[in-house]
A = this chain, B = another copy of it.
Amino acid sequence: MTIRIILADDHPIFREGLVNSIEETGEFEVVGVGGSADEAVALAFQYKPDIALLDLSMPGNGITAAQRISDAGSAGAIAMLTVSEDSNDVTAAMQAGAMGYLLKGVSASELREVLGKIARGEAHVSPGLAAQMLRVMQNETKPPRQPIDELTKREEDILRGVAVGKSNKEIGSELNIQEKTVKHYMTIILGKLQARNRVEAALIAQEAWGKSQS
């Protein structure tokens, strides 16, 4: 009983190497080969493979293909194949229904081993990537708290004006408050940001918020 696989990758030479690597022990059979997301979805629908092995970055987007195949229930399992070690890609792939995520640098035997696991229902991510994902998830749950995050809504409104070089008078006019009030807020803002003057505050703002809208 062979494990039936469809695969989709837009690099012909790699695809050929892949087919050979997968089939060389007779344990797996590649029943369909495509070069884009659309072809992958059609092949999955047509062949109902045990595993759909998809390139992450092919035309039409591998993750989109994974999502569509998963939604349609057209494959027993989905695995992604890519050079990307970006944990965002891994997360996105898993959320799209992939049971596995493999790097293109794997050897043929390792690839077959992982495919076997996936066919048995086990999820797989390269160990290095799994550790990286864990680190990223931990960092994301504890975003660093900057002084600029402690500003009130009004204070932020005013700093945004300062960050693009506007005078207190101009800011007051825009926000319909007195220049005097803007000054008052600036004193508070400078204190919170530990900035000595508005230039420093503007630079801090730009650093934190990205490019100013010049």
Chain A residues packing against B (C-beta within 8 Å): 10-18, 20-21, 83, 104-108, 111, 162, 164-165, 167, 195-200, 202-204, 206-207, 211-212, 214
CB atoms of A165 and B17 under 8 A apart? no
B12 adjacent to A106 (CB under 8 Å): yes
From A13, A20, A107, A207, residue with most partner B Cβ within 10 Å: A13
Question: Given A20-B20, A83-B83, is A203 in contact with B165 using a C-beta cutoff of 8 Å?
Answer: yes
Alpha-carbon gap, A167 to B199, bound state (A) = 9
The answer to whether A10 and B105 touch across the interface, beta carbons within 8 angstroms, is: yes
Q: How far is the CA of A198 from the CA of B198 in the complex (A)?
A: 10
* Of B105, B196, B206, the contact of A206 (CB 8 Å cutoff): B206
CB closest chain-B residue, reference A110: B12
A200: B residues at CB distance < 8 A: 164-165
Partner of A104, one of B14, B164, B197, B211: B14
Complex Cα spacing A204 to B203, Å: 11
Assess the B197–A13 pair: CB atoms within 8 A. Answer: no
Q: Contact between A164 and B13 (Cβ–Cβ < 8 Å)?
A: no
- Please provide the 8 A-B residue pairs with the shortest distance between their CB atoms, ordered closest to farther: A17-B17, A165-B200, A165-B199, A16-B17, A13-B17, A14-B14, A12-B107, A13-B21
